[in-house]
A and B are shown apart, each in its own frame.
Chain A
Amino acid sequence: MSLLRSPSSEPLWKEEFSVFTADERYVTRRQFVKFLSLASVGMFVGNLWILAKAYFAKPPTYPASAIAEVGEIPVKGVKLFSYPGPDDRCIVVRTSEEEYVAYSQKCTHLSCAVYYSAKNDRLECPCHQGFFSIKDGSVLQGPPPRSLPKIVLQTAGGKLVATGVEVSENG
């Protein structure tokens, strides 16, 4: 505390327990402002922590994982799978004869599972009526703040292979 205290002739105990009521009020306020400054320091440290994590974050590596056979899914049909880990639920939709799109199933609002609505040709979240575009996973309507992470698909040897996750920079 001696670092935060400007030099004075009086010992600290005399200042903190002053016989003058006017000074007592000063002491209470001074202590409060000191506490607020400490809180400010704490939050700055929090921001530095985030900065450190961002700086030292490794780009994530994704293993290639076969998720379905080509032709297994009918047109406008869906299949649920897990990628990259067993708890990361995803959904793949065959939008046409040749095209498949896959997204993370966790709604970016409060992580409810989204489903594909063939009638409206979009991904819908039943919890709060959040709708995502089937083309790129962007938010069409509702409370979700960000677009759905897109799963990168490739075909190899008659199988659909998931090779990565794309998170868009803009919400």
Chain B
Amino acid sequence: MHGYEFYVDPSRCIGCQSCVKACEECETHRGKSMINFDFIDRSGTTATAAYVCWHCEEPTCAMACPADAIKKGEDGVVQSSLKPRCIGCSNCVLACPFGIPKVFPELEQMMKCDMCYDRTSIGKRPMCATVCPSQALSYVRPENITRRREKPTNVFYFGKQKIVTRVHMMVPETSDSVSLDVLDYMWEESDVAFAQPQ
């Protein structure tokens, strides 16, 4: 929005959790961070990754919601669940291919990243992108991201489902898309082509 796009580069993440703390400070969900912070293999490596909601073009969470509580606005941001409608059923938690929505049982409400809509709608950057020291989470203009070695992609494959998102992921130059299915990385290349929709 306003010419900016969100880019996630997990390889840059240093695990400082500034994003988690910054997100927690938001008045509307104080104390609860909407960042999905992943210790990838805590015993084996110090590598970490921080993820925000990917704001898919056709949000699976919204389509799975039985209460019609998740809406995607005209500007492409998938909003967090509407308070009067959410019943805390966790359908969206199960449906999301990226595992982003979080249900808080004490509130009976799902909450998720909404790209700091109060900030991005007026041209500011989301809190996480503002505080990330390594810019693993960055909110910049598309022409600025071309300076990096990696290239951004917003196409994901989850089994046979093709997901196009608003938020970009930085991938090696040779890749075009990211496969979320673990099996896709275990099969031979020819079989991977067979598994994905054409």
Assess A/B contact in the complex (Cβ within 8 A).
yes
> A21: which of B59, B63, B65, B72 is its contact (CB, 8 Å)?
B72
B62 touches A21 (CB 8 A): no
Q: Mark B57-86, 1 if CB is under 8 A from A, else 0.
A: 001001101001011111000000000000
A21:B70 contact, CB within 8 angstroms: no
Shortest distance between the CB of A147 and any CB in chain B (Å):
62
- B70: chain A residues within 8 A (beta carbon): 19
* Chain A interface residue bracket vs B: under 10
Q: Across the interface, which residues of A come within 8 angstroms of B74, CB to CB?
A: 20-22
Q: Which residues of B lie under 8 Å from residue A21 when comparing CB positions?
A: 71-74
Residue pair B73, A19 in contact (C-beta under 8 Å): no
Size of chain B's interface in residues, with CB distance under 8 A? 10
Q: B71 and A20: CB pair below 8 A?
A: yes
A17 contacts B by Cβ under 8 Å: yes
Considering only CB atoms, which chain B residue lies closest to A22 in the complex? B74
State how many angstroms separate the Cβ of B53 from the closest Cβ of chain A. 14
Inter-chain contact B73/A17, CB cutoff 8 Å: no
Measured between alpha carbons, how far is A22 from B77 in the docked complex, in Å? Answer: 12
Tell me the residues in window 1-51 of chain A with beta carbons closer than 8 Å to chain B beta carbons.
17, 19-22, 24
Across the interface, which residues of B come within 8 angstroms of A22, CB to CB? 73-74
Give chain B residues whose Cβ lies under 8 Å from the Cβ of A19. Answer: 59, 62-63, 65, 68, 70-72
- Tell me the bound Cα distance from A17 to B65 in angstroms: 11
Among A20, A21, A22, chain B packs the most CB atoms within 10 A around the CB of A20
Distance (whole angstroms) from the CB of B63 to the closest CB of chain A: 6
* Bound complex: CA A21 to CA B75 (Å): 10
Give complex CA distance A24, B73 in Å.
Answer: 10
Minimum CB–CB distance for A156 against chain B, Å: 82
Question: Closest CB-CB distance, A29 to chain B, in whole Å?
Answer: 15
How far is it, in angstroms, between the C-alpha of A19 and the C-alpha of B70 when the chains are bound? 7
Q: Please, how many angstroms separate the alpha-carbon atoms of A17 and B62 in the complex?
A: 11
Closest-by-CB residue of A relative to B79 is: A21
Task: Give residues 139-169 of A contacting B (CB, 8 Å).
Answer: none
Query: Is the beta-carbon distance between A20 and B68 smaller than 8 angstroms?
Result: no
Q: How far is the CB of B78 from chain A (nearest CB, A)?
A: 9
Rounded to whole angstroms, the CA-CA distance of A17 and B63 in the bound complex is 10
Q: How far is the CB of B103 from chain A (nearest CB, A)?
A: 18
Chain A residues packing against B (C-beta within 8 Å): 17, 19-22, 24
**8 more CB-based (< 8 A) A-B contacts, given A17-B68, A19-B70:** A19-B59, A19-B68, A19-B72, A21-B71, A21-B72, A21-B73, A22-B73, A24-B71
CB-defined A-B contacts under 8 Å, sample of 12: A17-B68, A19-B62, A19-B63, A19-B71, A19-B72, A20-B71, A20-B72, A21-B72, A21-B73, A21-B74, A22-B73, A24-B71
Residues in chain B within 8 A of chain A (CB atoms): 59, 62-63, 65, 68, 70-74
Q: List 4 A-B pairs, minimum CB-CB distance, nearest first.
A: A19-B62, A22-B74, A17-B68, A21-B71
